[in-house]
Chain A
């Protein structure tokens, strides 16, 4: 589903991502970890087609994001850490807008809207204007809209921020279920226990470089130590690097 080949991305003289290659098959739940400023969000933005690589290619579902971006984006849903909603739309109207944007047939859209309202327990507030929503309500609504059109790839950046423990539990179950049903999930998070619990594979990026990628067993081998993900993460990212500039 995701093919990132030799991708580098520069912000002026600063290199945010350097020579990144990553292949993620259909139905995998991939957790992308890294310290602040490591290049996670830049990678996600390139996967969504918001930014283009300086060198290399990013393909989603076989479509190159640069030359066939519209087709690639039709397969993707992105849940950012700062969710965007139209303040003067109700949650239901926002879901309808998303369904229309993804060209869902009316009947199917109505069915799916009801389904995600139920799934994310939006029924109590879904007909209120979103300007009155709390952060958690906004996050749930954005998740619902991300899933309303059955995406092939779900990208979530810090999806648990602002959610209560019960919602986090439900979200974790849902993400696993989505991956099991064939949807690829690309998850960026700082919450290491969620990554360890859910992910099929984990990628660790720091200073724009992919330092390690694989299952927990692979990472343990890579770090040459046993332990949980937190210990592995600290070990892998502890090597002091120099900021890369051109």
Chain B
């Protein structure tokens, strides 16, 4: 079959040359050395939609599961905000419920929502389509990966219903308090949390295996690594980070489970509680912190790098301009990924470390700002003199840039030991990490959903609801987190259930009420977004093929939306990068990746 294709193409080429047009020598098709992948063809409803091996369906399954658990995380945040804004008003919010809400909110949002959505959701849907593969390399393992994730989520939900409730140890689960009586959920909640995390890591490793090897080995002909969309670069690097970082969480979870269930002392020091000496002795809680943050800091970039990649593509497509400095964007992604493994102790400045140790980690932390700043400059320069279409994906991308700069700059404050020490454990930190790894990646998630929803369903999301969603989320996020920076400066500690009549709270009371109201409004807008997603699925405006006039392969499948096997009979052949917009010399406004040089003879390759 591939031979037929080859002959046809060669004929086209000779026809071109006979008509006298310029034929670049590059217009040849390499032999297909990789045999076409054998796909599992589903026959029943169950194998097609439930136990499905098609990466596109798995991607949607991941995304829906992550969104569902994410909404639980959102509702938990309302509980926290109600308590902080209007203490002693709601009888159902005691200190235990508050700490459980904090813990579960953090863990759900960071791991079960963002990680699963970016890598499991967007990764599964986009990787095979964007690199020109029929499916992931190990479709069966990929399916198991999703079901492991689902089981992890169910175990997490189960912890809400066990005696003692879910753990309230804070999302960092620091021992010794995480497993000692007095902390909510120290009976079964913490065990289920650790089991759930371990299952998540195992499931993710199965998925990550697929993402990495598909990107490395299963690309279509002509798709070199330096011709891949930046989305794929972001997901690829993030997956490598995750494969190397999640083991640290896994190791920490195992040892803490043993400390809890079998009474070992890996992390537990000698402890007296209620006047009695416990059996623990000699363990090191700091060791847990090192393990946790050796995972935890790369985790920030596991969430951020796919967002960086996706937003680069969104900006380029919706500003009709090539990405400024493509190679530098790739380098920045790789460098950020590498550096993210040597900055973890900046989360532990107040744990009593050697000053030189803090000095080292402050330095590496500040070095990361360099590639990150390069990325921000390049996004702005991509927009510069671009033909900016203020579509909803573009609005969210612009929102991302502003929010990311904001959260990044507060990160520079906190990266310095002497500034971190007074600000540590205040609301300044809460504001910082919500801006940089909460709101900023979520902006990209939303933009990406508005961008790729037509590809998945063949219909557009409702534009009016989308605009309302953007503006309320964007303005609302600032209404929530800007005042939190101020609360941090005046010294309001984080994690406290209630401030009572502390002297510094005089100006904070009104602010806290304001933040709570804003949080409720922003939260309800997300329900509007969910309504939009579900109703547009069958009622939305029909989308024509390639509505955004993008170049990457996922928009150029024979069937729209793409079906099983992605590319019909023949895989596409790639001749260019995905950013050929308004190419000098070409009469076409955009040149998709699979258009051969002879079809656009006058187009000049753009330097990047």
- Do A and B bind? no
